[in-house]
Amino acid sequence: MFLSLILSSFFTFVELNCENLFDTVHDSLKNDVEFLPESDYHWTRTRYWRKLNHLSQEIIALGELFPSSSEGVADSAIVNPINHDWHLPDLVALCEVENDSAMIALTKRSLLRKAGYEYVMTSSPDERGIDVALVYQPFSFRLLGCHSIRIKRLPDTRPTRDILYAKGMLVNDDTLHVFVVHAPSRRGGEQASRPYRMQVASQLASSVDSLYALHDRAKIIITGDFNDYDDSPALRYLQNHHLINISKDAKGRNGAKGTYRYHGEWRSLDHMLCSPALLEHRMMCEIGDLPFLLADDEKYGGKKPFRTYLGPKYLGGYSDHLPLVTWFLIE
């Protein structure tokens, strides 16, 4: 499997909001009491390990997808038999993970334990203790360095999640710069909370500008849960800094028109943006709406993400977000 990964001419990048991947142990420095065995959510070890294996199953199944079309890529690159070898995603950006304990369990003890994955993650001052992580295959992404970007607090605001920055070398010796973000929520209303997400966008743009100053053809990808739609001020601000939202028109193969469904309407809070130099290698981006990730929407009709919880009610699903999957041609 690893040999086919190295020989493969495409690189798979997945983004996923896990929907509260907490372990079952209380951390006195975090407000994690909702996700404990004795809480209203009854977050037991059985439910925790079911969640871990669900996420593992999802990541493995996304490796079976193959781009059905591409933009700007020769057809010969699509039909090459090498490209049809199944392999695990090369990079997986995760939002809403609590700590190293959960990430070690996911990468070393779940269904992914023999996949060879490594990970890096943030350790943010977020009060609930949720962070972002990047899971990577060392064979196709040789980690060169990583660090967290602390978000400056605005007056009368709570601390939020750090941005994760990682850079690594691809099999063709190109350097890929990756930013994983989980922007502040819309609590209090979109307009009232907008400055918090704009602060995240501003610091992201500054980091990207620094990379461009060193190399104007830097290969950069920014992904995560922005808690904003593609036409929001924060996303527009980033696109004004020489970034392209490659997930803007992404759709799923099973009817999903966004990564999130609210009141029967599909919209995307999760996005992938990349630099012009990386855009040249993009094959396509789609929503990974695998059938087992969907549930019937009994109120509004159609399908919706099969989530783990609805309030304190345990549904036993995967996440309230669907993943994004992007393929890049590596030459």
Alpha carbons 312 and 112: distance in angstroms, whole number: 28
Q: For the chain, which domains are there?
A: 2-324 (3.60.10.10)
pLDDT of residue 83: 46
What averages of pLDDT result for each successive group of 10 residues across the chain (331 residues)?
A: 51 97 94 95 98 98 77 42 67 98 97 96 93 97 98 88 97 96 89 91 97 97 97 96 96 97 96 97 96 97 97 97 96 80
Point out which residues pair with 135 in neighbouring strands.
Answer: 92, 119
pLDDT of residue 73: 45
> What pLDDT, in 10s, does the model give residues 158-207?
889 999 999 999 999 999 999 999 999 888 888 888 999 999 999 999 99
Tell me the backbone φ, ψ of residue 195, rounded to 5 degrees: -55, -30
Element (H, E) at 79: helix 75-79
User: Which pTM does this prediction carry?
Assistant: 0.93
Alpha carbons 231 and 225: distance in angstroms, whole number: 15
CB 153 within 8 A of CB 185: no
For 15, left (φ over 0), alpha (ψ -120 to 50), or beta?
beta
